[in-house]
Amino acid sequence: MIASLYCFNTVAQEDKRIVRLARLVINPAQLATYNALLKEEIETSLKIEPGVLTLYAVAEKEKPTHITILEIYADSQAYKKHIQTPHFLKYKNGTKDMVKSLELIDAIPLLPAITIK
């Protein structure tokens, strides 16, 4: 058991990934347009940016304007590169008046060796 805990802690300490939750509330009148821009940004990022490991967006069933995005980047350099790409800037600038609130939450993976399939 002690060896297992040691391995878990070693992996967590060596993990350079950036993991973040983005929690947004979107203007209801602009939700369809927001979702279209988000879809384009996520699909492009995952397709052409090797450092973007996961971008997964969900909306709450009872509050579809409340969106949470799980973001995982290979490292801080990949994140910095991502937020300077034309497709991210198109999304960010195109949705800035649609977003009523944005909260960015840095996270630590509890099981870092597990990957999302």
**pLDDT tens-digit map of 6-44:** 444 444 456 799 999 999 999 999 999 999 999 999 999
pLDDT at position 1, please?
A: 45
Number of C-beta neighbours around residue 59 at 10 A: 15
Beta carbons of 20 and 106 less than 8 angstroms apart: yes
Q: H-helix or E-strand containing 101?
A: strand 99-107
87 has a pLDDT exceeding 70: yes
Residue predicted with more confidence, 12 or 49: 49
Domain spans in the chain, listed from the N-terminal domain onward: 16-107
pLDDT at position 31, please?
A: 98
What lies within 8 Å, CB to CB, of 26 at 6+ separation is 34, 65, 66, 67, 98, 99, 100
Residues paired with 58 in a beta bridge = 68
Q: What class does CATH assign to 16-107?
A: alpha beta
